Amino acid sequence: MEYYNTQANDTKLEIFKKMCHIRAFEKQVKKSYDTHDIKCPVYLSIGQEATSATISTIFKPDLIFTQHRGHAYYLSFGGNKDKIIDELLGRDSGCNKGKGGSPGIQDLNIGMIGHHGLIGENVPLAVGATLGDSTKKTLCVFGDGAAEEDYVFTAMAFAQTHKLPILFICEDNDLSILTKKQVRRNWELTDALKAIGMPTANIPDDPELITPYIKEFINKLPAFINCKTCRHLWHVGTGQDGTPQTDRLEEYKQKLLEIGYELEQLQEIEKQKLTEAEVLWRKHLQRQ
Amino acid sequence: MAQTLAETIKEITRKHLEENNGIILGQCLSAVGWVNNTVPDTKNIIELPMTDIAGAGIAAGLAITGRRPIFVIRFQDFMFLNSSTLVNYTAKAKEIFNISVPVFIRALATEGNGTGPVHSAVLHSIFMHMPGFKVCSPMTPGEYTQVWDEFMKSDGPIYVSEHRKSFNQTDEIPDIISPDADITIYGISTARFSAIQAIETLKQEGIKCNFVNILWLKPLDLTEKLTMPLMKSGIGLVVDTDFEIAGASQSIAYELMKKTNKYVEALGAEDRSVGTAQRYENGTPSPEKIITKIKELIEIRKNSNCG
Ligand SMILES: Cc1ncc(C[n+]2csc(CCOP(=O)(O)OP(=O)(O)O)c2C)c(N)n1
Ligand SMILES: [Mg+2]
């Protein structure tokens, strides 16, 4: 799809800042995991920053249901940073006293409900929660693997039947653990949902492409966007198999340069976010 | 070098897939270590999509046609999703419809390393509770082979409660019986490993324990192999990795007590959820915990003169 200019300039910069913030934070998670300060399994969002960064600048949901790979959403929507760090460090001061770990991060102040670890079950949960009080708007996020779980389509179809105000997002990294989509199925969830009348889009996770769909869809919920993205690290932990195929953060930065942003300004943001994350993590690690 | 349990599983599977027109199905089988190196790279492997409900039904359908499927569930916790067709059709089909639906259910467990609330359970007990299942927990190559041979003769599903902690096991685990033992310990799943450690420690303190392996949880064959040591020692303890409350350990303790009229208690996982941080784990009873329990029981007997 052709690239088009869909955001105001200050929004573009805000999205870029959020992406840099997530990347910097996740790098610190990786570092602390590699030094064994973090002892629980971690599910990192490096490479997948764009969706949450973009959605959170436009859509303000009352409830957020993500799945195990949820750090980016927690951070984008302004979850308490001290509490996620302490959770990952397994401390009583963590958002779930260290009991939920990386998949379970939760902050009720932003309406974010922790994930228990059974993939896709957050979808019926989100649907029920919205049915309970449909004056509230909900964001529900899952992966391309979860999209195959029996109860996911059924729950989304229920939301469609009852016109529940939920924005469903699939972060489609083409992987269920390490098994590619084509080994698992030959269909797209967008096609299935289109057939029952839900507004859908199947697009790359470019903020400029996501933006118009979010703006349009939040007025006709429920709706579904499948965002094709690229996970840089292993499913769990911090390992890496070769160079990632794409890096959306880098591509977005290039696009910002093309439309006139100064390299120094963008580099300054990146540097600032890295420093902030480093300082924050150091503070927590020193508190041992 | 002797074959490990993981290698044994892989070889049994290879033979089944290549020579019997057998089939194996599950999620992400052919990636990240091939299920702890228990799945061979050969034909007749079905990569299921991430369907934790229909998957079990597909396995049962395959079984109807005689393919004797091996159905792999990487974490026993997922059984709550996968069990409806297994419980309600697969296990009942022989009795109700006179149809054979033999599914070899490989239900894996793990513990430790922060696996958290939904990736750390051993759940064989709930399948013992339901009619139509054979339930076992093999921890050695020989036991696994025995279970497989039983499956090939079976008309219905076998719930095979596996645990990753045992995958490197090469040796068989012998019973330990002495005529003057103070107590008889019955071990299930990985609790067998910690029970044996506990028994070693107690021996140095002068406490003698019998040790009896329990491979088959259902049907439970209350042979003399199980009852005789208890008759002599007078008290017994069943240790298991699954939850104690309403679990295999309590159920088998009851059966043993009824059969022998001797006092038997149970020890399994505690009645609480597992949290991610290490202090919230709730896995296999530790040797220390088993030791405390054994001493407690011996004390009870002294005071009550039972047995
Ligand atoms: C119900 C259930 N089945 C299987 C698993 C094992 N599992 C954990 S994550 C995962 C893959 C999830 O893929 P996807 O939804 O695409 O999310 P991603 O990890 O790619 O972000 C699987 C199969 C699980 N946790 N829960
Ligand atoms: Mg995925």
- Within its chain, how far is the Cα of B75 from the centroid? 13
pLDDT in tens, A16-56: 999 999 999 999 999 999 999 999 999 999 999 999 999 99
Q: What is the pLDDT of residue B201?
A: 98
- What chain B residue is nearest to A187 in terms of C-alpha separation? B49
Atom of ligand 1 nearest to the CA of A120: 1
Judge residue A242's burial from the number of C-beta atoms within 10 Å of its C-beta, 0-12 exposed, 13-18 middle, 19 or more buried.
exposed
DSSP-derived secondary structure for B248-296: HHHHHHHHHHHHH--EEEEEEE-SSPPPSSGGG---SPPHHHHHHHHHH
Beta carbons of A40 and B276 less than 8 Å apart: yes
φ, ψ at B147 (rounded to 5°) = -65, -40
> HSE-up of A124 (CA within 13 Å, CB side)?
11
CA A65 to chain B, closest CA, distance in angstroms equals 17
Cross-chain residue pair A185–B78, CB shorter than 8 Å: no
Mean pLDDT (whole number) for A142-163: 97
* pLDDT tens, residue by residue, B225-271: 999 999 999 999 999 999 999 999 999 999 999 999 999 999 999 99
Distance of alpha carbon B188 from alpha carbon B284, whole angstroms: 10
Contact A222, A198 (CB under 8 A): yes
Residues B54-67 have pLDDT tens digits of 999 999 999 999 99
- B6-52: per-residue pLDDT in tens? 999 999 999 999 999 999 999 999 988 999 999 999 999 999 999 99
The residue to which tokens 């030959």 are assigned: A186
Residue pLDDT, tens place only, A72-125:
999 999 999 999 999 999 999 999 999 999 999 999 999 999 999 999 999 999
CA-based nearest distance A76→chain B, Å = 24
Chosen from A176, A180, A181 to mutate, greatest number of chain B CBs within 10 A: A176
Residue B150: CB partners within 8 Å, gap ≥ 6? B134, B158
Per-residue confidence (pLDDT) for residue A1, from 0 to 100? 35
Q: Which two tokens stand for residue A274?
A: 């890295």
Tell me what the pLDDT averaged over chain A comes to. 96
Q: How far apart are CA B174 and CA B242, in angstroms?
A: 22
Is A149 in contact with B51 (Cβ distance < 8 A)?
yes
* Closest residue by Cα to residue A136 from A106, A166, A115: A166
Using only C-alpha atoms, chain B has a radius of gyration, in whole angstroms, of 20
A 10 A CB-CB count for A225 gives 24
Does residue B218 carry a pLDDT above 80?
A: yes
Cβ atoms of A278 and A70 within 8 Å: the answer is no
Q: Which value does ipTM take for this structure?
A: 0.88
- Please say if the pLDDT value at position A2 is more than 70: no
Percent of chain B with pLDDT over 90: 96
Residue B300 has pLDDT above 80, yes or no: yes
Q: Is the pLDDT of residue B87 over 70?
A: yes
The answer on pLDDT for A225 being more than 50 is yes
**Residue type, position A176, single letter:** S
The CATH number of residue A223's host domain is 3.40.50.970
Query: How near does any CA of chain B get to the CA of A80, in Å?
Result: 19
Residue A272 half-sphere exposure, CB side, CA atoms within 13 Å? 10
Domains held by chain A: number: 1
Task: Give me the domain span that covers residue A61.
Answer: 2-285
Look at residue A134 in the predicted model and tell me its pLDDT. Answer: 80
Coil/strand/helix, residue B243: strand
pTM of the complete model: 0.93
**Hey, what domains does chain B have and what are their CATH numbers?**
5-166 (3.40.50.970), 183-302 (3.40.50.920)
Interface test with B, best of A37, A87, A115, A179 (most B CBs within 10 A): A179
Query: CA A106, CA A125: separation in Å to the nearest integer?
Result: 15
Contact criterion met (CB below 8 Å) for B161 and B137: yes
Residue of A nearest to B79 (CA): A118
Structure tokens at A74: 């927690």
Cβ of A172 below 6 Å from ligand 1: no
- Per-residue pLDDT tens digits for A76-90: 999 999 999 999 999
**Is B53's C-beta closer than 6 angstroms to any atom of ligand 1?**
no
Any atom of ligand 1 within 6 Å of the Cβ of A175: yes
Lowest mean pLDDT among A3-17, B68-82, B201-215, B276-290: A3-17
Q: In the beta sheet, which residues pair with residue B45?
A: B24
Q: Say yes or no to pLDDT of A3 above 60.
A: no
What mean pLDDT comes out for the span A190-198? 98
Contact (CB, 8 A) for B122 and B163: yes
C-alpha B92 to ligand 2 mean position (Å): 36
Helix (H) or strand (E) run with residue B161 in it: strand B158-161
